[in-house]
Amino acid sequence: MLQVDQLTTDDPKVSLQDISFQFDAGNIYTILGRTGAGKTELLRALMGLNPLVEGDIQLDGQSIAKRPVKDRSMSLVYQQFINYPHLSVLDNVAFPLRRQGKKKAEAQLLAAKMLTTVGLGDFLQRRPAQLSGGQQQRVALARAMVKKSRILMLDEPLANLDYKLREQLREEFPRLVAGNDDSVILYTTTEPREAMELGNTMIVMTDGRIVASGPPADLFAHPPTKDAASVISDPPISFISGFVRSGALYFGEGQLAPNNGLHLPPDGPVTIALRPDAIEPGGAFNATIGLSEFSGSETIVHLDFDFGRAIMLVEGIETFVAGTRLSVSIQTEHIMLFASDGQNITTRTK
Amino acid sequence: MNKFYHILKTLFLFGWSLFVVFPFLWALTTSFKDANAITSGATYIPWVDYEPSTQGWTSLFTTGSQGINIVGPFIDSAAVTLIASLVSLALGTLAAYGLSRFEYRLGFVKNADITFFFISQRIMPPIVLAIPFFLMLKELGALDTIFGLVLVYVALLLPIAVWVMTDFFAGIPKELDEMAMTDGCSPIGAFFRVILPNSVPGLVVAGMFCLIFGWNDFFFAFTLTFTETQLLPVSIVSLNSSVTPWWSLSAFALISVAPLACVAVIVERYMSRGTMSGAIR
């Protein structure tokens, strides 16, 4: 078990702010956040690569905050595919085992086994430069896993891969990390889909803080704060200012009566979050079509309303001409309401 | 147009090669001439233009009035240059690694200032350093010794090594050091096991610069030695008397250039190899 208490750093880009969390062995924690949220800084602080201003890191009840990097039983896979260019693929993976004091033959045997697991059994004697990007990242992953360290950290490991390879490795990931039941796996990503797909627990970070954590499906359905909601949704949620008065929800020139079990808070200002699937073609609201783009088998349409810009997600590939007007409706079962302090105040009758 | 450009480029490269190689050809032909051949105008082809003589070469290994024995100066030069270059490279590489990886601050002095301090040692004209070096070596009793020259040459070559290696280490991603540390190396272990093996091209370039500057230095070799120790550049100049033996001088020049040329040919492949490819994408 890895326990971090009030972790605070003073990093040049993003500083960690009072982070406390308990990571249990056998779980995969996906840390989701935009660029600059502090994900990498958190991993580096855990690893001992970035100094702590305050706080403690405990592994199985023992503080490791002052231990040197090499003695923390942690592995890190970087976003950039970092390997030792002067060593063969086999020796790259055997490298940490040799540092653990294993004999060369034993280290190479274990390394070869691990490389076979990650699908590189035929490339043992090649140099990293002779491999493709995906293969290089597999080498890095194999090197991180072969140590059997207690904490396996992966810092956006798929970010620099092309789409196809990313999908392929994402599918393979559970198989690759299987058998690490004694380890805590931390996986950072900027992609909500990846975070929800790969983790047992999702942690959402913004501005060096953890703003939400929990099972991915629960967090997606009910993000506790506006910050968390803005990070979790892809395509992004649109936020518009509105207010509640006399049992109706007003925004710009629009008005919505609560239905589908949505309960409105007492009269006052609210932030309305429109999920991309909350807007559907055909209805009482008029918007001008901005950009439209395809994502897989869906169409993402950017709409300009009189109350602001919002994104609509349409199933299937459809053509929307920029600059033309479109009538849409807003489905209240897909909207959320946030108080002025950013807390989610959406309540529904089941 | 392309063909014209190609011809122009070939002609230029041919002309430039001739310009670079010609002094060596000149020295080579001259080294096989005698006094008569030297004074009978420009001749190039042995046995056709002139009768070759080995006098120029044999005189370099003869002591007495017939020649000058260069074996001693050659060994002295090699010893001073090699020892000073190795020491400079070792110290310079460690200093450069520190400067590229750690932040130093003493008042307003930061890493860039320290690097500039090293380089500034080469900005000063040598004459400024001659008297201080002379006095220091005299105090140490190291005037006219290989040890004294090594000390001075280390001071002169260290800035070159620091300069080249700082720039080289800056091109190696810090993540590689960090990766080595997460894989179980101490910081110094990461340097020796990972960074140094990947720094061969930088070490070769820095080493070559040190060898060239050390081997070719005349000024300090001349001002800090008398009779006990003599380096090649000083020996060459000592050949220049009332009657200059151009044949010996040419042979001597070729011999003094040969070691550096051999080293350059051997290490050239390390200089051009991009060993960092595959480290990080």
pLDDT score of B240: 74
Choose the weakest-confidence range: A55-59, B18-22, B67-71, B221-225. B67-71
DSSP string, A291-312: EEEEETTEEEEEEEETTEEEEE
pLDDT score of A94: 97
pLDDT score of A112: 96
Instruction: Find the chain A residues whose C-beta atoms sit closer than 8 A to any C-beta of B.
Output: 47, 49, 68-70, 74-76, 78, 80-86, 95-96, 99-100, 127-131, 133, 136, 143, 147, 160
| Alpha carbons A96 and A107: distance in angstroms, whole number | 9
CATH of the domain at B119: 1.10.3720.10
Judge residue A126's burial from the number of C-beta atoms within 10 Å of its C-beta, 0-12 exposed, 13-18 middle, 19 or more buried: middle
Tell me the count of A-B CB pairs closer than 8 A.
75
In a domain? residue B135: yes
Tell me the chain B residues in contact with residue A127 when contact means C-beta distances shorter than 8 Å.
278
Residue A82 is nearest to which of B179, B186, B198, comparing CB atoms? B179
Residue A81 is nearest to which of B194, B275, B281, comparing CB atoms? B281
C-beta neighbour count of A36 within 10 angstroms:
14
Residue of A nearest to B277 (CA): A129
DSSP state of A156: S
Tell me the chain B residues in contact with residue A86 when contact means C-beta distances shorter than 8 Å.
194, 197-198, 275
Q: How far is CA A70 from CA A249, B20, B177, in A?
A: 57, 53, 12
DSSP state of B191: I
| Alpha carbons A259 and B152: distance in angstroms, whole number | 89
| Alpha carbons A309 and A50: distance in angstroms, whole number | 40
Query: What are A318-324's contacts with CB under 8 Å, separation 24+?
Result: A319/A292, A320/A289, A320/A292, A321/A289, A322/A289, A322/A290, A322/A291, A322/A292, A323/A288, A323/A289, A324/A288, A324/A289
In a domain? residue B36: no
**Spans in chain A with pLDDT lower than 50:** none
Q: What are phi and psi of B116, to 5 degrees?
A: -65, -35
Q: Using the beta-carbon criterion (under 8 Å), do B176 and A70 form an inter-chain contact?
A: no
Q: How far is CA A341 from CA A19, A232, A273, in A?
A: 20, 19, 14
pLDDT score of B273: 55
Range of the domain at B139: 71-272
C-beta neighbour count of A169 within 10 angstroms:
18
Q: Using the beta-carbon criterion (under 8 Å), do A78 and B194 form an inter-chain contact?
A: no
pLDDT confidence band for B66 (50 / 70 / 90): low
| Domains and their CATH numbers in chain A | 2-232 (3.40.50.300), 238-348 (no CATH)
pLDDT confidence band for B145 (50 / 70 / 90): very high
Distance from CA of B201 to the nearest CA of A (A): 12
DSSP state of A72: S
pLDDT, one tens digit per residue, over B5-48 is 999 999 999 999 999 999 999 899 999 988 888 887 788 888 88
Parallel, antiparallel or unpaired: strands A279-295 and A262-263? unpaired
pLDDT score of A164: 80
**Total structural domains within chain B:** 1
Q: Using the beta-carbon criterion (under 8 Å), do B275 and A74 form an inter-chain contact?
A: no
Please say whether the beta carbons of B183 and A99 come within 8 A: yes
* Confidence check: pLDDT of B65 > 70: no
| Alpha carbons A262 and A75: distance in angstroms, whole number | 46
In a domain? residue B231: yes
Scanning B139-178 for CB atoms below 8 A from A yields 173, 175-176, 178
pLDDT, one tens digit per residue, over A236-265 is 899 988 899 888 888 877 788 777 778 888
Q: Tokens at residue B49, please? A: 């233009």
Tell me the chain B residues in contact with residue A95 when contact means C-beta distances shorter than 8 Å.
183
Q: How far is CA A261 from the centre of its chain?
A: 30
Please say whether the beta carbons of A261 and A333 come within 8 A: yes
Please say whether the beta carbons of B68 and B59 come within 8 A: yes
pLDDT score of B165: 94
Mean pLDDT of chain B: 89
Please give the single-letter amino acid code of residue A172.
E
SS3 percent helix, strand, coil of chain B, rounded to 5, is: 70, 0, 25
C-beta neighbour count of B60 within 10 angstroms:
20
Instruction: Give the H or E element holding residue A157.
Output: none
pLDDT score of A253: 72
pLDDT score of A70: 92
Please say whether the beta carbons of A281 and A305 come within 8 A: no
Tell me the chain B residues in contact with residue A84 when contact means C-beta distances shorter than 8 Å.
176, 179-180, 194, 198, 279
CA quadruple A193, A198, A203, A205: dihedral positive or negative? Answer: negative
In chain B, at which residue ranges do the beta strands (DSSP E only) sit? Answer: 105-106, 109-110
Residue A80 is nearest to which of B180, B197, B280, comparing CB atoms? B280
Full-model pTM: 0.81
B196: closest CA among B164, B165, B175? B165
pLDDT score of B281: 54
In a domain? residue B186: yes
Residue whose entry in the numeric block shows the structure tokens 């326990």: A3
In a domain? residue B61: no
| Alpha carbons A34 and B154: distance in angstroms, whole number | 51
B84: closest CA among B136, B149, B135, B130? B149
Distance from CA of B206 to the nearest CA of A (A): 20
A344: closest CA among A200, A214, A252, A198? A214
Scanning B198-217 for CB atoms below 8 A from A yields 198
In a domain? residue B44: no
Q: Using the beta-carbon criterion (under 8 Å), do B182 and A143 form an inter-chain contact?
A: no
pLDDT score of B106: 87
In a domain? residue B38: no
